[in-house]
Amino acid sequence: MRGEEARVQTNAKVAVFPCESYDPGLLDRCIAQAAEDAGFPDITGKRILVKPNLLKAAAPEEAVTTHPEFVASVLRFLWGRGAASIQVGDSPGHQNGRAVGKTSGILQAALDGGADWVDFVPGESRPAPEARLVKSFKLASALDDCDLVVNLPKLKTHRLATYTGAIKNLFGLLPGLAKSSMHLRFSDKIQFGTMLVDLGLSIKNSFHFLDGIVAMQGEGPGNGEPFPLGLVFASRDAAALDWVAASTIGYDPKKIPYLAEAIRRGGHDPDAPKIDTGSYLVDKKRTKGFKLLPYTAQANASLSEIPHYLEPLAMRFLAERPIFDKERCIGCSACIRICPAEALELGRLKDGKYQVLIDDRACITCYCCHEVCPVGAIAIGKILWRPNWQRKRK
């Protein structure tokens, strides 16, 4: 085995507990039990950074962000375990973190819970000695002032990554536009996943509570539908947690390249990872009726096997692209601001409606536009022909 894969496989512990609602009393008991079972560390006198999912401004019931009651419960747990200080923060892709925190209810939950709110700004470069692609990351400076990162992802489907949970949520430790630059640098879906694993493995002191009480299905991570999954996941091992959670909603994690790589680099065999879930038997607990997205990275990876001169034709038949709905578009330009490839432009039709114009040659299919659209005006699909008004002209 190569380098970081040459570890001795050890059992990873993932605690999974049923939790049917965000009732504070029920949540407190569930968080405490899950933490205990998953081996939560001693944090007496420690400085904690809590990292929820703040994708974009959305109400809690939309399941776009970590639920504020979930954050509040974790804060009560951390104070009860002797934390010296707690900061809460994230870095949304195109909106102000405090504004997203206010709309989602997480800002108020943090302040009511006695934590300090922190806006992520770039810190010094941090080495990633086990990385394959990125040997250092300029992550949020808040990491310099903490002893433990408590990661609070939301369980969701994801157009780019297929599934998003603990590993993908750590991507938010890259402040602001640094995330867009990574999308542009690693436009290949497989390489982007490898970068996510590089980043995740570089965060050594971390613990993960996954909010799967109400998950997101369908067009995740920003425009899907809430799904009452009724589960809380906890683990020291982000890869193992994601493996169990993705399996629970019906995915085969081996078919999600970044999850397979993460579990392998953590010292596990993807064909038979040694993950201890206690009495929770994944094969018997798979959720039925959850709307899954296709295995995006694998589908797009097939393009790399096609001769270069056939790529333009192949892109039309094989690659999924953003599709903009002029009937829904409100002209907010969120998609344009976040596009790392600068492939989008806002136009206006004769009837006064807005239309996003796209340069197909520049688009890197990162789906950032799809993530942030506040009105669900962007779909993803295969397009054999675009009308002239939907092609951006140079």
Q: Any idea which residue has 């002029």 for tokens?
A: 326
Looking at domain 306-390, its CATH class is alpha beta
Q: What confidence score (pLDDT) does residue 1 get?
A: 30
Q: Where are the domains of the chain?
A: 3-285, 306-390
Q: What confidence score (pLDDT) does residue 388 get?
A: 43
Work out the number of other CB atoms within 10 angstroms of the CB of residue 253: 22
Residues of the chain scoring pLDDT < 70: 1-10, 297-319, 383-394
- Residue 308 vs residues 311, 314, 359: alpha-carbon distances, Å: 5, 10, 20
Q: What confidence score (pLDDT) does residue 11 get?
A: 72
Query: For residues 229 and 21, what is the distance between their CA atoms, to the nearest angstrom?
Result: 10
> What CATH fold (topology level) applies to the domain 3-285?
Rossmann fold (3.40.50)
Q: Which two tokens stand for residue 25?
A: 């009393």
Q: What confidence score (pLDDT) does residue 4 get?
A: 40
The pTM (predicted TM-score) of the whole model is 0.90
DSSP string, 182-226: HHHHT-SHHHHHHHHHHHHHH--SEEEEEEEEEEEESSTTTS-EE
Q: What confidence score (pLDDT) does residue 220 get?
A: 96
Q: What confidence score (pLDDT) does residue 313 get?
A: 53
pLDDT digits (tens, 9 = 90+) for 143-197: 999 999 999 999 999 999 999 999 999 999 999 888 999 999 999 899 999 999 9
pLDDT digits (tens, 9 = 90+) for 63-108: 999 999 999 999 999 999 999 999 999 999 878 899 999 999 999 9
Q: What confidence score (pLDDT) does residue 307 get?
A: 60
Do domains 3-285 and 306-390 share one topology? The answer is: no
